[in-house]
């Protein structure tokens, strides 16, 4: 090593380091927009919530189609027994979506079991279905009456 004739080329060298991506500083984290945050929440929704919404949405769509058929028939001048009972039909629609949505959610969304294997159902499952069904009932009815009905009449 102390040989004056030795050069740096004679010394063994370590292989060159691969190009690593630059590490970001913790303070340089990009802030997400409101839409990006909501999209991530939508993609990662808990399964019980997805099931409750799907159950209520299915019931609401089926019943809204029945109501829409009744409403269009009356708009075209059909003479049905009982006359024009659209207000009662909307009330029955909302009550049925809330009740059936709650019951179906109670059936398909068990409470967490922990280490046990027995699925438990409580009123909380039905409450989840009820609170999922409230906005869905009205939103589906608005789409049926304000969007689909003008296309059919």
Give residue 115's pLDDT: 65
At 50, list the tokens. 């997805």
Within-domain flag for 146: yes
Report DSSP state, residue 28.
Answer: G
Within-domain flag for 9: no
Q: What is the pLDDT along the chain (153 residues), one digit of tens a residue?
A: 565 665 555 566 666 666 666 666 666 778 888 898 888 888 887 777 788 888 889 999 999 999 999 989 888 888 878 778 888 999 999 999 999 999 988 888 776 666 667 767 778 888 888 888 999 999 999 999 999 988 888
Length of the chain as a residue count:
153
Give residue 96's pLDDT: 94
The parent domain of residue 76 ranges over: 48-152
Cβ neighbours of 144 (radius 10 Å): 21
Of 89, 85, 93, the closest CA to residue 137 belongs to 93
Structurally, the chain folds into a number of domains equal to: 1
Three-class secondary structure of residue 37 per DSSP: helix
Give residue 3's pLDDT: 59
Residue 101 contacts residue 60 (beta carbons within 8 Å): yes
Q: Which residue's structure tokens are 């659209």?
A: 86
Beta bridge pairs of residue 87? none
Q: Which residue's structure tokens are 């009815």?
A: 141
Give residue 50's pLDDT: 82
Residue 134 contacts residue 95 (beta carbons within 8 Å): no
Within-domain flag for 122: yes
Q: Which residue's structure tokens are 């004056």?
A: 4
Give residue 51's pLDDT: 81
Within-domain flag for 2: no
């Amino acid at each position: 090593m102390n040989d004056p004739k030795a050069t740096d080329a004679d010394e063994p060298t370590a292989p060159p380091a691969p190009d690593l991506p630059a590490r970001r500083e913790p303070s340089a984290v990009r802030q997400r927009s409101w839409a990006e945050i909501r999209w991530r929440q939508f993609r990662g929704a808990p399964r019980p919530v997805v099931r409750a919404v799907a159950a209520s949405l299915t019931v609401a769509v089926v019943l809204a189609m029945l109501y829409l058929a009744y409403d269009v028939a009356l708009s075209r001048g059909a003479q049905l027994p009982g006359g024009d009972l659209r207000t009662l039909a909307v009330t029955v629609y909302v009550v049925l979506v809330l009740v059936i949505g709650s019951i179906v959610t109670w059936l398909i969304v068990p409470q967490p079991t922990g280490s046990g294997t027995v699925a438990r159902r409580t009123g909380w499952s039905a409450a989840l279905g009820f609170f999922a069904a409230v906005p869905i009932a009205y939103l589906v009815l608005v789409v049926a009456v304000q969007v689909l009905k003008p296309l059919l009449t």
